[in-house]
A = this chain, B = another copy of it.
Amino acid sequence: MRPPYHHPEQHFGASQTVRDVVLGAADGLTVPFALAAGLAGAISSTNIIVTAGLAEIVAGAIAMGLGGYLAARSESDHYASEYRREAREIVEIPHEERREVAKVLAEYGLEGEALGRAVDAISANPRRWVDFMMRFELGLERPAARRAVSSAGTIGAAYFGGGLVPLVPYILLPSATQALWLSAAVTLVTLLVLGTIKGKMTGMPPLRSGIQTVVIGSVAAAVAYLVARWVSS
């Protein structure tokens, strides 16, 4: 669900880890908040709400962290196998592969001798030739394998940490209804802050990003509340 913004000229000063923490925490706040709000509309035991909330955040953190790690590994394997295939193809069917290079460049207006020379230059070096095919024909970027592993861990941990924010009021207060209001206040403010930072990092207008994040969380919580009341009545 994250838009792939890669604008090199709009670099935000944060490190990649800060980015992972913000994205993971914003994701982690929404569903546990809505789940706890929904349960608060149906049952009065804060113990059960906290149990359900913690079960949700550990499950969500594992699904995001482990899921992200395995997806990153598959992506890296996929890249490596496509790379080997292209490397084999430029040896086995060089004419076909030259034609594919020409096809990509022709789309941008190269023709005649200029096209021929550009194709010659790219296919003169096998490594560059394969790199060109990977990026421009297949649209695959070389994945940073090691980064992905630590990134998945950070996102999973941040999801867990973010998920604790809406639960803390249910741990501290004896009444589920009171806890619900405190949880809503704390969560929506945190979502506004995280959404705004997220906007800064992804190149989106920060306030718009902040408000969107709050709207998603509010709508999800309101509907969960209504559904839980309806089911339990």
Contacts of A109 in B (CB 8 A): 121-122, 124-125, 128
Contacts of A27 in B (CB 8 A): 63
Contacts of A72 in B (CB 8 A): 3
Contact A64 B128 (CB under 8 A): no
Partner of A122, one of B30, B60, B110, B139: B110
Contact A35 B56 (CB under 8 A): yes
Contact with B along A64-95 (1 / 0, CB 8 A): 10111011101101100010000000000000
With A110-B121, A117-B113, A118-B105 as known contacts, state yes or no: A136 contacts B136, CB within 8 Å: yes
Q: Within the oligomer, what is the number of copies of this chain?
A: 2
Contacts of A39 in B (CB 8 A): 48, 51-52, 55
Contact B6 A140 (CB under 8 A): yes
Contact B220 A6 (CB under 8 A): no
Query: Interface residue count for A (Cβ, 8 Å)?
Result: 85
With A31-B63, A64-B1, A71-B3 as known contacts, state yes or no: A108 contacts B121, CB within 8 Å: yes
Please measure, in the bound complex, the distance between the C-alpha atom of A47 and the C-alpha atom of B233, giving whole angstroms.
11
Nearest-neighbour CB distance to chain B for A224, whole angstroms, equals 4
Please measure, in the bound complex, the distance between the C-alpha atom of A77 and the C-alpha atom of B203, giving whole angstroms.
11
Could you tell me which A residues sit within 8 Å of B by CB distance? 1-8, 27, 30-31, 34-35, 38-39, 42-43, 47-48, 50-52, 54-56, 58-60, 62-64, 66-68, 70-72, 74-75, 77-78, 82, 105, 107-111, 113-115, 117-118, 120-122, 124-125, 128, 131-132, 136, 138-141, 202-204, 208-209, 212, 215-217, 219-221, 223-225, 227-228, 231-232
